[in-house]
Amino acid sequence: MSGAYGEGQGVDEGTVLVGRETELATIVGFLDAIAARGRSRVFVGEPGIGKTALLAAAADEARVRGLAVLSARGAESERHLSFAGLHSLLYPVRACLDRLEPVHQEALRGVFGLSQAPVELFLVALAALELLAEAAEQRPLLLLVDDLHWLDAASRDVIEFVARRLDSEPLVLLAASRPHRAVTGQSLDALGPDASRTLLRRRVDLPPDLEDKVLDEAAGNPLALLELPVALRSQGIQGGALPLTARLETAFAARLAELDERPRLLLLLAAVNDGELLAEAVAAAANLTGADVAARDAEQSVRLHLAATDGTTVTFRHPLVRSAVLQTASETERRRAHQSLAQVLTGFPDRYAWHLAAASDGPDEDLAHLLDQAADRALQRGAPSSAATWLERSADLSQTETGRGHRLLRAAEVAFQLGRPRTVHRYMERIQAAMLDPADRGTLAWLQGAFVDGVTSDSELVRQLAASARQALDDGEPEIAADLLSGTATRCWWVEPGRQIRADLLALTDRLAAGGQLRHSDRDPRLLCAWAAAGGLERHGTVVEELAWWASEGDLSDPGTRMLLARAAFVSGEFERCLQFCRPAVDRLRAQGRLGLLTAMLATQTFAAFYLGRWDLTEATVDEVSRLAAETRQPIWEDGAALASAHLAGLRGHAARARELLAPVERVAVTAGNQAMLNSVQLSKGFTELGRENYSDAFLELRRTTDETDHAHHPILQFWGLDYLAEAAVGGGHQAEAREILDRLRPALGRSPGAGAVRAVRFAEALLANDLDAEAAFARAFALSRAALPWYRARLDLAFGSWLRRRRRVTESRAPLRAAHSVFTVLGAGAWAERAARELRSSGVKDRVASVRGASRLSPQEWQIARLAAKGLSNRDIGQQLYLSHRTVGSHLYRIFPKLGITSRGQLHDALPPEQ
């Protein structure tokens, strides 16, 4: 990994940039605007297409402008070394480390090898962003990352994290990559015929027939245009049947034959090494030959344009040179090179173990154990991707089937935590149940179901997972059984597996609770999740009581416990309780940098807030869920964020936006048979029609959620939309049908149902009551509304005010109608505000009723920042919570103040509406 950009890389910078005017103009534009905003761009192209030269030209342009340049380059041999690329990129600005918050300092000290304290990947990412922001305050920065596809996964994740947060930073990040499934960017295409001929003629003078042959063979690849003429003179040009990269490797390989023994050995050692220090290759060469080898022995490689050295490091002119070196060496020679390097690297445990493993030609349990330890260290450093690589190699070296299976299973667990389904499945395909001991068999079963949780409708998988939970319980593994039951029952939330499977899951949960073998005894939160999700409404009374106990007496120090309790509370419709458990868990997960779990917790909070009528919280969190779900590769929560956004858009009357958000989610839900998601899609369609005041259409859409024969039916979720169904029924004249639905569903509520279902039913009862019973029904509904529920209360006020006006109690109707109109206007609920305005005018109010302006002029992220700043948090504190740099927070506040008509932080509290 190189920290000095461009040395010995690519081809002549002055000639290779022929035909790259468009790309250079883009880069110059980025640099021109760097003081106002940061930008990032990835250039993607085949080997030799000129990516490195383009980055080198960018570096020259930046230095002319007085910018600082930081660089790193991926190397295939270093992909197992966690944060190797990030170390190279950040090391030159390590002097700024002392300016960071202690938690960020500690995270980066681990990257620099100065600390062994455990760190989380995204905490490292935020610390890296803060470090770069600090360095950029002295001088704007150009960051260059070459061969991004070969960068170690931990470094690549951090660099991608930084790239998404450069808008307010004086930073430009440019990267180059070969085509790779994990990399997207601007394609760098082959040169056109005229540019190719110009480049070739600047380099060499060939007869016309040979020039045409070179142009034809090179196909616009700059490296080929410069290398094939050399090959032509030495051994002739390879035929076009071979891929261009293979022909170039052959050309470089032919040049290797001109090397003496020591320079060729040094190149082989440099090729297999996972570092660039020339001294390491020299020492390893001396071990192999028993002769004096010196740095000057590398000079012949430099003269032949194969490598470059500054006396300290040795780098290859192009990655294809490294490939050619490895291809021309025998397997025995490569193994001996790794063995010799291992002897040189005994002071570096991870590198030592890796080279020993590469030198091994068979199972070796001691060596496998060394790789296990390296994997543990990678996990401590917050580099799970590297840990998975170590564990896979450790599995290959295992001497027993159970050892191999256990290590592959550990690798699969790590990949699961990273949200990488293909990798999980690849590991699991290598695992056979017979290879595993009972505890590992339970973990395998959990992984098989947990990874696709909420995505598939395979009830047979639920049955298999239930059988695995029973087996774990029979094998004396209650903790694994509890994990399996919690995850399996949660699947019953997403899809209806059938009454018998639910009954089996409940029987197993009851058996586990009665056994007293769990760490939380009969009050284990995993059991609550199982009862809530698999037991349905008939068990919600028990769940509600247990949640109350946990809230008042339980040990809530572990965020994992709070997450389970929040999930159980949400499923049972206890939305207030859900938020009570969510908030501290969210804060703790933020502090720990556990963004994968944070995303799931925020998604739960988003929907709990929506069903409570807390649009402010829903809107603030849904934007963050969407961003974090994309970063942590959790598509189900991306879909969840889209659903929540569609709910709000539909209710506000933005029908086109709601439909745009719903379309891809509905495709996923239909394909997977995900009933919970389909139910939410159907709710959104109903909300959208309500937002347009198309009441009959809204009723038809919402009625489907209560029809047991409809694929959008959900036995619990159907209750949470009954209030909207009643509104649609009243507006569209479907009261009789709605009353039949309500009468049919009411008995299913069971004992002590969740507050969300009760609130929706009471609302529906009030709207659908006959004239004699209506006022008492409204009183019961109002008793459930509190100041914390403005949306619910405003809808009740509108319905009650309208009822009063129709009963000719006009004077009484005005107060609730005015209150309703005020809330609807603030929330941007256009259809409801217009209805309230019409009712007010019909009640004789002559004043002009204000039109709806929208909920706010602030974006969701600006709302979050403004709220936190109003509470007195510093820019750094806010940035740490929202995973932004302190400079980005400051830029947002700079834009927020004019929108709110204020000039200082001290005015924020009064400028913002009260937090609901």
pLDDT at residue 355, as a whole number: 93
CATH number for the domain that contains residue 868: 1.10.10.10
Claim to verify: residue 127 and residue 267 sit in the same structural domain = no
Claim to verify: residue 771 and residue 639 sit in the same structural domain = yes
CATH number for the domain that contains residue 180: 3.40.50
Amino acid letter, residue 711: H
Claim to verify: residue 246 and residue 319 sit in the same structural domain = no
The mean pLDDT of 646-661, rounded to a whole number, is 92
Claim to verify: residue 153 and residue 279 sit in the same structural domain = no
Give the pLDDT band (50/70/90) at residue 110.
confident
Q: What span, in angstroms and rounded, lies between the C-alpha atoms of 602 and 590? A: 11
Establish if 808 belongs to a structural domain. no
Domain that holds residue 129: 13-187
Q: What share of the chain has pLDDT > 90, as a percent?
A: 39
Written as six digits, the tokens of 418 are 């990273």
The three state secondary structure string of 833-868 is HHHHHHHHHHCCCCCCCCCCCCCCCCCHHHHHHHHH
Q: 898 vs 148, which has greater pLDDT?
A: 148
Give the pLDDT band (50/70/90) at residue 234.
low
Q: Which of 784, 813, 841 is the last residue of a domain?
A: 784
Establish if 46 belongs to a structural domain. yes
Q: 85 vs 217, which has greater pLDDT?
A: 85
Q: What span, in angstroms and rounded, lies between the C-alpha atoms of 763 and 268? A: 77
Written as six digits, the tokens of 11 are 């081809």
Claim to verify: residue 41 and residue 98 sit in the same structural domain = yes
Q: 295 vs 850, which has greater pLDDT?
A: 295
Establish if 575 belongs to a structural domain. no
| Those residues with Cβ within 8 angstroms of residue 709's Cβ, 6 or more apart along the chain or in another chain | none
Claim to verify: residue 741 and residue 669 sit in the same structural domain = yes
For residue 541, give Cα distances in angstroms to 521, 524, 528, 544. 20, 17, 11, 5
CATH number for the domain that contains residue 773: 1.25.40.10
Q: Which of 359, 388, 416 is the last residue of a domain?
A: 359
340-385 pLDDT per residue, tens: 999 999 999 999 999 999 999 889 999 999 999 999 988 887 788 8
Establish if 332 belongs to a structural domain. yes
Which range among 10-19, 249-258, 661-670 shows the weakest confidence by mean pLDDT? 10-19
Bridge partner list, 73: 146
| Those residues with Cβ within 8 angstroms of residue 740's Cβ, 6 or more apart along the chain or in another chain | none
835-850 pLDDT per residue, tens: 888 889 888 886 544 4
Q: Which of 359, 392, 420 is the last residue of a domain?
A: 359
Which range among 148-157, 285-294, 586-595, 864-873 shows the weakest confidence by mean pLDDT? 586-595
Q: Please give the DSSP secondary-structure letter assigned to residue 915.
A: P
Which range among 71-80, 415-424, 547-556 shows the weakest confidence by mean pLDDT? 415-424
Claim to verify: residue 152 and residue 230 sit in the same structural domain = no
Establish if 229 belongs to a structural domain. yes
Establish if 527 belongs to a structural domain. no
| Those residues with Cβ within 8 angstroms of residue 290's Cβ, 6 or more apart along the chain or in another chain | none
Q: Which residue has the tokens 């305005």?
A: 837
Establish if 825 belongs to a structural domain. no
Claim to verify: residue 321 and residue 233 sit in the same structural domain = no
78-106 pLDDT per residue, tens: 888 888 899 999 999 999 999 998 888 98
Establish if 266 belongs to a structural domain. yes
Exposure class string for 372-397: b at 16+ Cβ within 10 A, else e: bebbebbbebbbbbbbbbbbbbbbbb
Claim to verify: residue 42 and residue 169 sit in the same structural domain = yes
DSSP 303-322: HTTSEEE-SSBEEESSHHHH
**How do beta strands 141-146 and 171-177 pair?**
parallel
Whole-number mean pLDDT of the chain? 85
How many domains does the structure of the chain reveal? 5
Claim to verify: residue 270 and residue 247 sit in the same structural domain = no
pLDDT at residue 89, as a whole number: 94
Q: Is the pLDDT of residue 916 over 70?
A: no
Claim to verify: residue 37 and residue 61 sit in the same structural domain = yes
What does pTM read for this prediction?
0.74
The SS3 of residue 885 is coil
The SS3 of residue 640 is helix
Claim to verify: residue 33 and residue 180 sit in the same structural domain = yes
Give the pLDDT band (50/70/90) at residue 304.
confident
Q: Is the dihedral of CA 515, 518, 521, 522 positive or negative?
A: negative
